[in-house]
Amino acid sequence: MVARKTKVPEARRSQILAWLEQEGSLSIRELESRLGVSHMTVHRDLDKLSELHVVKKSRGGVILAPQNTPNAKRRVCAMCAARVTDRSEFIILRSEESQVNACCPHCGMLLLSEKEKADSVLARDFLHGRMVNAYQAYYVVESDVRLCCVPSMLCFTSRSEAEKFQRGFGGQAMTFSKAVAYLTETHKHDLR
């Protein structure tokens, strides 16, 4: 079951991130055996993730990257040209090895709905500051906390955390696809 899924690079990289979020660090050997892929494949996946500054490779192992990378500060949103911050960063990974940065899930989702399908999409969890699989994350839309774009959209790893946040700060908690639909509706409305 797992072996079949791990043939897709995107699924494999998301899985590696999920393990790292739970365990903090992993050895290359451990990854090879868990994923049932070659040494080279593990290294390629980790190189890809480390280019995005989400992980840090060490000799024989990998850890989640520390939050404040100098590179993140210099990035600019491809949608609104705002500076990309460590709080709400959203990264669209394309198959042809290029990456698109957005300042927040709001801009990231607009970019995704305008352009072709991405290979992998990562969003920074608002509470924990970690990069997570954007498709599997939950979003709180139009809460009292506004970091950049309106309607504001914050990313949470789990539904329970999103709902807890919603109780404290208002807004609506929803899945990725609901959030995209919400955003497209809002924008259509604005254009009329």
CB of 111 to Zn ion, least distance (A): 9
Exactly one of 92, 93, 103, 180 binds Zn ion (CB under 5 A); that residue is 103
Element (H, E) at 114: helix 105-114
Residue indicated by tokens 């497209």: 184
Instruction: Write down the least CB distance from residue 38 to Zn ion, Å.
Output: 38
> Which range, of 55-63, 65-73, 107-115, 127-135, touches Zn ion by CB under 5 A?
107-115
Secondary structure class of 56 (helix, strand, coil): strand
CB of 75 to Zn ion, least distance (A): 11
The residue written with tokens 């992980």 in the block is: 55
Q: Residue 153 interacts with Zn ion (CB under 5 A)?
A: no
| By CB under 5 A, residue 80 contacts Zn ion | yes
Among the listed residues 119, 86, 87, the one whose alpha carbon sits nearest the alpha carbon of residue 100? 119
Is residue 79 part of the contact set for Zn ion (CB under 5 A)?
yes
4 CB neighbour count, 10 Å cutoff: 9
Q: By C-alpha distance, which of 120, 162, 101, 116 is closest to 137?
A: 162
Q: What are phi and psi of 84, to 5 degrees?
A: -80, 125
Among 54, 104, 110, 173, binds Zn ion (CB under 5 A): 104
Closer to Zn ion by Cβ: residue 102 or 132: 102
Nearer Cβ to Zn ion (44/87): 87
In the complex, the residues that contact Zn ion under the rule CB under 5 A are 77, 79-80, 82, 103-104, 107, 148-149
